[in-house]
Structure 1
Amino acid sequence: MTDTGLPQSPRAIADAYFKRMDAGQDFLDLFADDAYVVFPKHAPARGIEEVRGLFGDIFVLFTSVVHEIAYFNHISQGDLLVVEGTTHGVLADGTKWRATEGLGGRFCNVFEIRDGKIHRLHIYLDPDYGDADTARYPWLSAA
């Protein structure tokens, strides 16, 4: 931790991001003011206010989400940290998912962390957590 109370190592910063998100706590202080965040099916966010808006749009989709941090894979090179992992939780409509029991809930995030702040975050996942997109993917209805 720094004297500001923020985590210092890239892995600690990424883990703090996931832990705070899961607990419903503010995590935007982990981001640089000019951060750039990409989430599937959402316009990219540039700058902390757009990042706040992006996460606000996403969070209304869930009642709860848990990132299974103990099982993450981390790959680090320079300013980049790749985190591969799984989640489980409940969507706002009551649909439950668990990565180990269905198709949703697997993700890979690419963080660019410099000077103790997240400058870039690309989130790679299938946002169809409940496997409901059967019109375009008919094999889901057989699962």
Structure 2
Amino acid sequence: MNGSSDLQKRREEIVINYFRMVDAGNPAVIDIFTDDAQMFYPKFGFAVGKSQIGAFAQGLGRGIASLEHEIDGFTVLSSGNYVIVEGAENGRTTSGVDFPDGVSSFGLFCNVFEFEGELIKRTHIYVDPDFANTHAEGVAWGKSVQDSIASM
């Protein structure tokens, strides 16, 4: 294995460790980011720097009692400074709602990580943030489309 392949493999390991730390609620996860890292999350927007990313994580944690990423089922792709992970997650909100519900929430996500050396410089998280399926009006059109497809 050459140096580039070794670094790519190490970055993939760092990303898997990121998910384990997130699931455990381990605040040390912030240590695998650069000081000026950027994070994007739907309905939240951007957090820049470790303090903003930490504040985002604390805010998200106030609504989620437990979270588990199904790491064994991940699809991990890497190229250059990027590692992309597609997978599924499940958990429970602090209001006691288990997710996903399999009706309009499916627990699927995709994260794009950009690295600087062995630290995460940027991560964009693509997931439906409506874990408890409380935004029914936002997806009401989906039900009517599903019904029409089912009748075909």
Is the TM-score greater than 0.5? yes
Amino acid at match of 2:47: A
Equivalent of residue 111 in structure 2, options 109, 112, 132: 109
Q: Counterpart in 1 of 2:18? A: 17
> What TM-score does the superposition give when structure 1 sets the normalisation length?
0.86
1:98, distance to aligned residue in structure 2 (A): 3.4
1:140 CA displacement? 5.5
User: Which digits, 9 at most, give the CA deviation of each residue in 1:8-65, with x for residues without a partner?
Assistant: 8111111111001111212111111010000111130111111111111111110000
Determine the C-alpha separation between the residues in 2 that align with 1:140 and 1:129: 18
Contact 1:131 1:140 survives alignment (8 Å): no
1:55 maps to 57
What letter is aligned with 2:130? D
When the two structures are aligned, how many residues end up with a matched partner? 135
1:130: Cα distance to partner? 2.4
Per the alignment, residue 128 of structure 1 pairs with 130
Question: Which runs of no fewer than 5 residues in structure 1 stay unpaired?
Answer: 1-7
Cα distance in structure 2, aligned partners of 1:81 and 1:17: 12
What stretches of structure 1 move > 3 A for 4+ residues in a row? 139-143
CA distance in 2, matches of 1:17, 1:85: 14
C-alpha root-mean-square deviation of aligned residues, in Å? Answer: 2.0
**Alpha-carbon distance in 2 for matches of 1:30, 1:140:** 41
CA distance, structure 2, for counterparts of residue 41 and residue 95 of structure 1: 20
- Partners of 2:86 and 2:45 in 1: CA distance: 22
Which structure dedicates a bigger proportion of its chain to helix?
2
How far has the Cα of 1:113 moved from its partner? 1.4
Q: Which amino acid aligns with 2:16?
A: D
Using the aligned pairs only, state the percent identity: 32
TM-score, length basis structure 2: 0.82
Q: d(CA) in 1 for partners of 2:60 and 2:100? A: 18
1:73: which partner in 2?
Answer: 75
Task: Give the whole-Å Cα distance in 1 for the aligned partners of 2:139 and 2:100.
Answer: 19
